[in-house]
Amino acid sequence: MVEIDGSELPARKAEFLKIVYQMGGVAHTNDLAATLGVSPSTATKAAAALTSAGYLEHTPYRGFTLTKSGEEYARFLVRRHRIVSLALSRFGLSSEEACLEASKIESCVSRELVDRICASLGHPMMSGCGPIEHDHSCFPEEL
Ligand SMILES: [Zn+2]
Ligand SMILES: [Zn+2]
């Protein structure tokens, strides 16, 4: 499997994928449109683009389901958000401020940088936005 580097998806499509993940990995475009505050046709287009990129699968009646690489990518997105948010909170921002500021800049943060920040913070387990996962690329070998 190709390693994620964080630049595969533009911010809006990444957000879309993250929402499918947070909805339990399966979602109808109407629900996605409502959650994102976009029109159903915008949601349908985004879902179609993510499907042709291999992150989603369309199942009749069920809607769109995350593929294995879609789930892996969504987990990376959640992890990236939480690491960036935690790093910002170390500069004195409240968890709400850190969450908001992280949402604005996280799409520019590469996988490599996420791993480096994670390591420099000592592989924290928790951020103001929820628990932080570590994968093989950042977790110390000796543990
Ligand atoms: Zn957050
Ligand atoms: Zn880590």
What separation in Å is there between the alpha carbon of 59 and the centre of ligand 1? 30
Query: How confident is the prediction for the chain on average, in pLDDT?
Result: 92
The pLDDT-based confidence of 102 (bands split at 50, 70, 90) is very high
How large is the average pLDDT for residues 88-114? 96
Is residue 2 predicted with pLDDT exceeding 70?
Answer: no
Task: Please name the CATH architecture into which domain 11-66 falls.
Answer: Orthogonal Bundle (1.10)
Is residue 140 predicted with pLDDT exceeding 70?
Answer: no
What are the sequence ranges of the domains in the chain?
11-66, 72-131
What separation in Å is there between the alpha carbon of 78 and the centre of ligand 2? 13
Q: Where are the beta strands (DSSP E) in the chain?
A: 26-27, 56-59, 63-66, 126-127, 130-131
Ligand nearest to the CA of 132: 2
Is residue 22 predicted with pLDDT exceeding 60?
Answer: yes
pTM score, two decimals? 0.91
DSSP state of 4: P
CB-based contact 47:16 (threshold 8 Å): yes
What separation in Å is there between the alpha carbon of 137 and the centre of ligand 2? 8
Q: What pLDDT is stored for residue 68 in this prediction? A: 96
Residues lining ion ligand 2 (Cβ < 5 A) are: 118, 123, 134, 138
For 46-85, write each residue's pLDDT tens digit: 999 999 999 999 988 889 999 999 999 999 999 999 999 9
Ligand nearest to the CA of 95: 1
For 25-41, write each residue's pLDDT tens digit: 999 999 999 999 999 99
- Cα 31 to Cα 89: distance, rounded to the nearest angstrom: 32
Best CATH choice for the domain 72-131 from the list 3.40.50.10490, 2.40.170.20, 3.40.50.920, 1.10.10.10: 1.10.10.10
What separation in Å is there between the alpha carbon of 98 and the centre of ligand 1? 7
Tally of residues, the chain: 143
